[in-house]
Homo-oligomer: A and B are copies of this chain.
């Protein structure tokens, strides 16, 4: 058979409506429903150059929260579990931690006491475990952890707790000319070492919270040393600010799962022209975790209430997703 024949045959087969030979579904892990329809309709509209809603490639910017949107975030943000593991690894050099909070709680795995230490305690934990080393040293630590650490209850590597439907969506958006960014409250340097392999998102498209770095030349070799000082908090109203500092134009699509993403969705969907706001609602206690208004991690309250009148699509994980976790490890 020659090529022309194959091309004609393929065209004819694709014409069979809904048939087995029709174009493959680019989002096979999404069940038909309002969320999927909304996403697909948006992408078709902004990429169809005959549509009045057409958006040129340069403006096809899509932003994704990470924790709870691209991977799980229970029983605690994974970066907090990383910090706890770091406290344990570093404890021999810090005998004082055995009797000092929040380190004592971390060493004892006492998540309740850890939660009680509040934001201040969390910050202390982060500064003690994330600062005081070069950026290259920290990256090596994260790379090692992400390979060897296991989720406390699911007993799987964290990168296997990435959501398959979102990985498909990221790839499909990119295939449609979108540039995909992570915009997370989590630490940018905690995400960059594995985000490219897990999500196909390169380091320069990962935006997050960060601590300051200082440039130093040590024995003729330049290094960036991580300082125990906040550089930027990329959460809530910080998300549109972070998008502005980093991307410099307004996204036309934003995906989040908590009130921490409220302003990001508000900002992305307030521009002129077509836009898309999507909230991932954690409704599946059997396959993942079910939580919203009362969760410490990923609290979803105001954004859930306001989604209908703001026109944001709400993904019901239990109903809308055929599978939850990625099918094969990245």
Partner-B contacts on A (CB < 8 A): 58, 61, 135, 179, 188-189, 192, 196, 202-206, 210, 212-215, 217, 221-222, 224, 231-232, 237-238, 240-241, 244-249, 263, 266-267, 270
Contact = CB atoms under 8 A, between A and B. Distances in A.
Contacts of A263: 215, 222
A206 B248 contact: yes
A237 to B, nearest CB: 4
Contacts of A210: 245
Nearest to A232: B245
A231 B245 contact: yes
B266 A237 contact: no
A222 B135 contact: no
B266 A217 contact: yes
How many chain copies does the complex carry? 2
B241 A204 contact: no
Contacts of A221: 270
A210 to B, nearest CB: 6
Contacts of A241: 212-215, 224
Contacts of A196: 58
A203 to B, nearest CB: 3
Contacts of A212: 241
Contacts of A245: 188, 210, 213, 231-232
B248 A188 contact: yes
Contacts of A270: 221-222
A213 B196 CA distance: 29
